[in-house]
C-alpha cells in the first residue's frame, strides 16, 4: 500500500511542479491524473510484467481512497457554510443557474450520446 | 479549581489540536452516510451535504472559528489532490468500454462540456451575476478537486466552487431521473453518461445505484469531463483573449 501511495504522491508532485514551472492552466493534480493513466497503460505492456503487482496495488489503494471521496469535501464545504453571508445577495440566482444549467446539460448530453451511438430512442 | 474549570481547560486544549476536528469530521460523515443508506440513497439526504451541515452546526453552537477547525481538518482536505490522481483508475479499468463506444464518448464529452460551460456562462450573464461569481460557477459540473483547481486558475473562489459543485451534484442526482424520463431517453449508456458529465461523482453514485451500464458510463463521463473541462476552460479564455 505504501508503494502505491508513494506513486500517487510522486505523480501529483510531478504534476504540480510542471503546472507551476510552465505556468500551465491545467491543475497539477489533473496532470497527475493523466500521468497515472499513462503509467498504468505502460505497465500493461508485456515487457513490464514485473510491475503487475504494483499496478494491482495502485488500483486497490486508489479505489479505497475514491470510496471516501465524499468525505474529502467536508472541510472545505464547512468553510462555505460558515461564510455564507458572502453569497446572500446572489444565492437565489446562483441556484437558478445550477438547476437550469445542470438539467439542460443532462438533456443535451444524453441526446447527443444516444444519437451518435446509433441506438434509437425506443419510446 | 472547579470541575467546570477543568472541563474548560480540556476544551481549550482540544480546540488547538487536530484530533478533535478530525474525529468530528469523520464522525459526522459516518453518521450522514448511515442515514443516507438507511433512507435508500434518497438524493436530498446526500452524505456530503448532511455532514457539512452537522459539522457547521457544531461549530456555530460552540462558537468555534472556521480557521481553527480547518487547522485540524486540513489533513482530510489534503487528500483531495491524491484522490484526483486516483480518478485515473475508473477510466483505466473501463478502457475497453471506452474504446468500443469511442466515437459517441468523445463527441458527447466535447460537445457536452462545451454546452455545460456555455449554459453556465449564458444563464449567469443573463441573470446579471458579477464576473467573479461567474468564474466561481463555471467549472461546477466537474468533480470538486478538479473544479477547485480550475476555479483558482481563472480567478474564482475555490472554496465556493467546491460547495457549488456539491450543490450541482445533488441537483443532478435528485432531478436527473425525472428530467431524462420527461425527454423519454431510454438508452442506459446515454443516461449514465449525462449523469456523470453534468453532476460528477454524486450523479455517478446515483447512476450506479440504478443501473450497471449507466454506472460505468457515468464513471467514464465523470473522469473524462473533468479532464476535458480542465483543458477547455483555459483554452476558451486564450481564444477569447486573442479575439479581443
For residue B58, count other CB atoms closer than 10 A to its CB. Answer: 17
For residue A120, report the phi and psi dihedrals to the nearest 5 degrees. -75, 155
* Domain-ending residue, one of B60, B78, B96: B78
Give yes or no for residue B1 having a pLDDT over 90: no
- pLDDT, tens digit, 9 for 90 and up, residues A23-66: 776 778 888 988 999 999 988 877 777 888 899 999 999 989 98
* Residue B179 banded pLDDT, cuts 50, 70, 90: very high
- Which residues numbered 53-112 in B keep a CB inside 8 Å of some CB on A? 53, 55-56, 59-60, 66, 69-70, 73-74, 76-77, 79-93, 101, 103-105, 107-108, 111-112
Q: Determine whether the interchain pair A77/B163 forms a contact, defined as Cβ–Cβ distance below 8 Å.
A: yes
* Residue B15 banded pLDDT, cuts 50, 70, 90: confident
Higher local confidence (pLDDT), B219 or A8: A8
- pLDDT, tens digit, 9 for 90 and up, residues B67-121: 999 999 999 999 989 988 998 888 788 888 777 888 899 999 999 999 999 999 9
Give yes or no for residue B147 having a pLDDT over 80: yes
* Domain-ending residue, one of B78, B96, B118: B78
Average the pLDDT over B183-190 and give the result: 90
Residue of A nearest to B152 (CA): A27
Residues of chain B above pLDDT 70, percent:
99
pLDDT at A89 (0 to 100): 78
Q: Point out the residue among A59, A110, A116 whose CB comes nearest to the CB of B89.
A: A59
* Residue A122 banded pLDDT, cuts 50, 70, 90: very low
* Domain-ending residue, one of B63, B78, B93: B78
* Residue B55 banded pLDDT, cuts 50, 70, 90: very high
- pLDDT, tens digit, 9 for 90 and up, residues A63-85: 899 888 888 888 988 887 777 77
Count of CB contacts below 8 A, A vs B?
311
Residue of A nearest to B194 (CA): A106
Query: Do B114 and B235 belong together in one domain?
Result: yes
* Residue A86 banded pLDDT, cuts 50, 70, 90: low
Q: What is the mean pLDDT of chain A?
A: 86
Q: Are B96 and B116 in contact (CB under 8 A)?
A: no
Instruction: Find, among B137, B165, B119, B199, the residue nearest to A94 by Cα.
Output: B137
Average the pLDDT over B48-60 and give the result: 91
Cell numbers linked to A109: 448530453
* Residue B59 banded pLDDT, cuts 50, 70, 90: very high
Query: Do B72 and B169 belong together in one domain?
Result: no
Query: Do A12 and A68 belong together in one domain?
Result: yes
Query: Do B118 and B11 belong together in one domain?
Result: no
- The parent domain of residue B12 ranges over 3-78
Query: Do A5 and A61 belong together in one domain?
Result: yes
pLDDT at B26 (0 to 100): 96
Task: Report CA torsion sign: A21, A23, A26, A29.
Answer: positive
d(Cα B92, Cα B87) in Å, to the nearest integer? Answer: 9
Query: Do A96 and A64 belong together in one domain?
Result: no
The secondary structure of residue B142, as a DSSP letter, is S
Mean pLDDT comparison of A101-115, B149-163, B189-203, highest-scoring range:
A101-115
Start-to-end CA span in chain B (Å): 70
Average the pLDDT over B40-63 and give the result: 87
Q: State the Cα angle at B141 between B241 and B44, rounded to 5°.
A: 155
The secondary structure of residue A26, as a DSSP letter, is S
Query: Do B100 and B185 belong together in one domain?
Result: yes
Q: Chain A closest CA to B40's CA: distance in Å?
A: 17
- The parent domain of residue A37 ranges over 1-72
Amino acid at each position: 500500500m505504501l508503494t502505491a501511495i508513494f506513486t500517487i504522491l510522486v505523480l501529483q508532485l510531478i504534476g504540480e511542479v510542471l503546472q507551476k514551472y510552465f505556468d500551465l492552466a491545467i491543475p497539477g493534480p489533473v496532470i497527475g491524473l493523466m500521468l497515472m493513466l499513462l503509467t498504468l497503460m505502460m505497465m500493461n505492456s508485456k515487457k513490464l510484467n514485473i510491475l503487475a503487482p504494483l499496478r494491482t496495488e495502485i488500483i486497490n489503494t486508489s479505489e479505497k481512497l475514491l470510496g471516501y471521496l465524499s468525505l474529502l469535501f467536508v472541510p472545505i464545504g464547512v468553510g462555505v457554510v460558515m461564510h455564507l453571508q458572502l453569497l446572500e445577495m446572489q444565492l437565489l440566482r446562483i441556484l437558478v443557474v445550477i438547476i437550469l444549467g445542470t438539467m439542460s446539460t443532462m438533456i443535451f448530453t444524453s441526446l447527443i450520446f444516444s444519437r451518435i451511438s446509433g441506438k434509437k430512442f425506443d419510446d | 479549581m472547579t470541575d467546570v474549570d477543568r472541563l474548560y481547560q480540556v476544551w481549550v486544549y482540544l480546540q488547538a489540536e487536530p484530533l478533535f476536528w478530525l474525529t468530528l469530521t469523520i464522525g459526522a460523515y459516518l453518521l450522514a452516510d448511515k442515514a443516507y443508506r438507511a433512507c435508500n440513497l434518497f438524493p436530498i439526504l446526500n452524505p456530503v451535504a448532511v455532514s457539512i451541515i452537522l459539522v457547521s452546526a457544531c461549530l456555530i453552537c460552540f462558537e468555534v472559528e472556521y480557521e481553527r477547525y480547518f487547522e485540524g481538518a486540513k489533513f482530510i482536505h489534503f487528500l483531495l489532490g491524491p484522490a484526483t490522481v486516483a480518478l485515473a483508475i475508473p477510466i483505466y479499468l473501463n478502457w475497453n468500454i471506452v474504446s468500443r463506444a469511442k466515437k459517441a464518448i468523445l463527441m458527447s464529452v466535447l460537445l457536452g462540456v462545451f454546452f455545460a460551460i456555455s449554459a453556465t456562462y449564458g444563464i449567469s450573464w443573463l441573470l446579471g451575476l458579477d464576473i467573479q461569481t461567474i468564474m466561481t460557477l463555471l467549472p461546477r459540473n466537474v468533480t470538486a478537486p478538479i473544479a477547485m483547481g480550475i476555479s483558482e486558475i481563472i480567478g474564482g473562489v475555490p472554496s465556493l466552487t467546491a460547495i457549488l459543485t456539491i450543490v450541482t451534484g445533488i441537483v443532478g442526482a435528485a432531478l436527473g431521473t425525472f428530467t431524462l424520463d420527461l425527454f423519454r431517453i431510454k438508452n442506459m449508456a446515454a443516461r449514465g453518461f449525462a449523469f456523470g458529465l453534468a453532476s460528477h461523482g454524486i450523479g455517478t453514485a446515483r447512476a450506479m445505484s440504478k443501473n450497471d451500464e449507466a454506472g460505468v458510463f457515468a464513471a467514464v463521463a465523470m473522469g473524462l469531463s473533468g479532464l476535458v473541462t480542465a483543458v477547455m476552460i483555459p483554452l476558451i479564455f486564450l481564444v477569447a483573449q486573442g479575439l479581443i
